[in-house]
Chains A and B, each alone.
Chain A
Amino acid sequence: MLNQKIKVRDLKLWYGKFEALHGVDLDIYENEITAFIGPSGCGKSTLIKTLNRMNDLVENCRIEGSVELDGKNIYSKKVELNELRKRVGMVFQQPNPFPKSIYDNIAFGPRTHGIKKKNELDEIVEKSLRQAAIWDEVKDHLDRNALSISGGQQQRICIARALAVEPDVLLMDEPTSALDPISTAKIEELVMELKEDYTIVMVTHNMQQASRISDRTAFFLNGDIIEQDMTRQLFTNPKEEQTDNYISGRFG
């Protein structure tokens, strides 16, 4: 019943000479929210970027090991990079809508992948905005510049933009860390709804957030995954002492 969506095996990653990940194993399951927690600079964001190969954009970045999506290694030479990123969408820490209208932001992905008809695009735009729970707030001014709305709204526009290309997996790299508590609550609520249709991976600095919304949690420390388990298990009964220390606030 639980389909494994992503399987990371013995993944090592270097930025130049610095080894940022030391052989990481990780399993991510379909229609679940997997949270990455851990102190800053321990490899959470680095790992999430390897899942849609955004690390390819980083100069001098080198990896070893494998990342399988539905059983296929995404680092094999046969993989079409744009197709991969279409299947594995991403939402960033800082909301980064394009300086275009709200409509054009959402339609950008579908247009990229060859949808040109106005009525089809209209439909996708409305559907994606509804999914991202922002349709009611923006439906009357879709032609407004996406940079003119609030940060929380911008982030939901970015989520809608990612959903518009109909990905399987949605990667979220600290999507709420730049937002106020109310916007954060809205996004958390939204993410929990989205897991019905998507597999979600989320980096967060906020342990309460991880325990509130995720099904599964992986605890990172200095480039290793110390422990990964069902969220409830990990937070109430951690197996490793380091995890216990971290979640009880003794460091981090």
Chain B
Amino acid sequence: MDNLRQGTIKEAKAKANRQPPFKKAAKGNLAEKIMHGVFLLAAFTSIFSLVLIVIFIFTNGLPMMVEYGLADFIFGQTWNQTTFGLLPMILGSVLVTLGAVSIGVPIGVMTAIFMAEFCPKKLYAFLKPAVNLMAGIPSIVYGFFALRIIVPQIRQLFGGPGNSMLAAIMLLSIMILPTVISLSESAIRSVPRSYFSGSVALGASPERSIFSVLVPAAKSGIFSSIVLGVGRAIGETMAVVMVAGNQPLMPRGLTQGIRTLTTNIVMEMAYASGQHRDALVATGVVLFIFIMIINTTFLIMKSKEAK
């Protein structure tokens, strides 16, 4: 892609050189060159920071993982100041994310279908900004809400501490809603209306047309909204740390506490040093790999959609 662009720019330059050198054109070329540099610098800045992050995480995290033993690190079940078995946190993140997705995605997708197809205009004028606002609420506010509302409810209903896997799941299922809703809605809206007319003209009810034609036609877009929701859930930290209990133990049940990869880092980073600190960075490596897998899935799906 970049090579291609470079190529076309070179060609354009060559072309420009072949033409008689008007003064104005030369001036334009200079401005163009400068702007080209500015844009390149802007692009370079973001790439550069990404590269720095990768280098930092991997150079700090990988040696520790190798030194400690990769299998012991990934599959070890005990985590304390000297023993670094990450499995409880890996499972914690995976379970909490799966739980959040299995609650949040059906609600989100159905909301998106409602908003794209059934919603009265007046309600939409309220609902759409509300969903956008949800996306903008700081995660700490979500965490506080969950701490004061969800956690006491769980304590009352199921006993136990209340700070639990269930609390984290419910919290995250709410937090992924705006992502799932907005992306799914735009996916459904981008399906050509002619599919809908075609289906209705066959005697299919509007409902059947929506669920059997429009939604399947939008499925790759809906799927990528789910993938991004997963990314949001697995990466969330501050809200989760407030309600999850955070015991570094293997998951013992929905109403018991749990610790995720992200909270593992934030809980201990303040006082960690030496190998302990490196183990936390290595936790970041694992998290980073999870995110990479999710984003790659997303990209693959996007490219399939483009086809």
Contact, CB under 8 Å: B194 / A112 = no
Beyond A54-B200, A98-B213, A108-B199, is A82–B194 a contact (Cβ under 8 Å)? no
Give Cα A90 to B198, complex, Å. 8
Beta-carbon contact of B195 and A96 below 8 Å = yes
Residue of B nearest to A158 (CB): B198
Shortest beta-carbon distance from A49 to chain B in Å: 10
Residue of A nearest to B208 (CB): A112
Asked if A100 and B216 make an inter-chain contact with CB atoms under 8 angstroms apart, the answer reads: yes
A206 → chain B closest CB, angstroms: 21
Q: How far is the CA of A54 from the CA of B201 in the complex (A)?
A: 7
> Which A residues are CB-close (under 8 A) to B201?
52, 54, 85, 89-90, 92, 162
Cβ 8 A contact of A94, one of B194, B202, B208: B194
Choice from B195, B197, B204, B212 contacting A54 with Cβ under 8 Å: B197
A161 at the interface (CB under 8 A from B): yes
CA distance in complex: A84, B203 (Å): 7
**Docked-complex contact A113 and B197, CB < 8 angstroms:** no
Q: Is the CB of A86 within 8 A of B202?
A: yes
Query: Which residues in B have their C-beta under 8 angstroms from that of A161?
Result: 198, 202
CA distance A120 to B161 in the complex (A): 59
The yes or no answer to B192 lying at the interface (CB within 8 A) is yes
Are A112 and B198 CB-contacts (below 8 A) given A98-B213, A99-B217, A100-B216?
Answer: no
For the complex, is B205 an interface residue (Cβ under 8 Å from A)?
yes
List residues of chain B with CB within 8 A of the CB of A54.
197, 200-201
In angstroms, how far is the closest chain B Cβ from the Cβ of A58?
Answer: 10
Interface status of A123 (Cβ within 8 A of chain B): no
Task: Mark out the residues of chain B between 245 and 271 whose CB falls within 8 Å of any chain A CB in the assembled complex.
Answer: none
Q: Which one, A85, A98, A100, contacts B203 given CB within 8 A?
A: A85
Partner of A98, one of B198, B200, B208: B198
Nearest residue (CB) in A for B195 is A98
- CB-based contact A96/B208 at 8 Å: no
* Inter-chain contact B203/A86, CB cutoff 8 Å: yes
Tell me whether A92 and B194 are in contact (CB under 8 A): yes
B197 touches A92 (CB 8 A): yes
Q: A92-B197, A96-B194, A96-B198 are in contact. Are A113 and B212 (CB under 8 A)?
A: no
Nearest chain B residue, comparing its CB with the CB of A108:
B202
The count of chain A contact residues (Cβ–Cβ below 8 Å) is: 25
A159: shortest Cβ distance to chain B, in Å? 12
B212 cross-chain contacts in A, Cβ below 8 A:
108, 112
CB distance from B121 to the nearest CB of A (A): 10
Chain B residues within 8 Å of A99, by CB: 195, 216-217
What is the chain B residue whose CB lies nearest that of A96?
Answer: B194
B198 in contact with A92 (CB, 8 Å)? yes
Nearest residue, chain A, Cβ from B194 = A96
Judging by beta carbons under 8 Å apart, are B202 and A85 in contact? yes
The listed residue with most B CB atoms (<10 A of its CB), out of A52, A108, A162, is A108
Are B203 and A109 in touch, CB under 8 angstroms?
yes
| B206 closest partner in A (C-beta) | A57
Distance between A228 CB and nearest chain B CB, rounded to angstroms: 25
Which B residue's beta carbon lies closest to that of A110? B202
B196 CB, nearest partner CB in chain A, Å? 8
User: Which residue of chain B is the closest to A162 with respect to CB atoms?
Assistant: B202
Q: Which residues of B contact A83 (CB under 8 A)?
A: 203
Say which residue of B194, B197, B202, B205 sits within 8 Å of A109 (CB atoms): B202
Which residues B124-169 have CB closer than 8 A to chain A? none
Q: Is the CB of B199 within 8 A of A82?
A: no
Q: What residues of A have a CB within 8 angstroms of the CB of B216 in the complex? A: 99-100
| In the complex, per-residue mask of B184-196: 1 if CB is within 8 Å of any chain A CB, else 0 | 0000000010110
**In the assembled complex, A132 has its CB within 8 A of some CB on chain B:** no
Q: Are A82 and B198 in contact (CB under 8 A)?
A: no
Contacts of B199 in A (CB 8 A): 98, 108
A218 at the interface (CB under 8 A from B): no
Identify the closest chain B residue to A105 (Cβ).
B198
Q: Which residues of B contact A (CB under 8 A)?
A: 192, 194-195, 197-205, 208, 212-213, 216-217
Contacts from A to B (Cβ < 8 Å): 52, 54, 57, 82-86, 89-90, 92, 94, 96-100, 108-109, 112-113, 158, 161-162, 165
Other A-B pairs beyond A82-B204, A98-B213, A161-B202, 11, CB < 8 Å: A57-B200, A82-B203, A85-B201, A85-B203, A89-B201, A90-B201, A99-B217, A100-B216, A108-B199, A109-B203, A112-B212
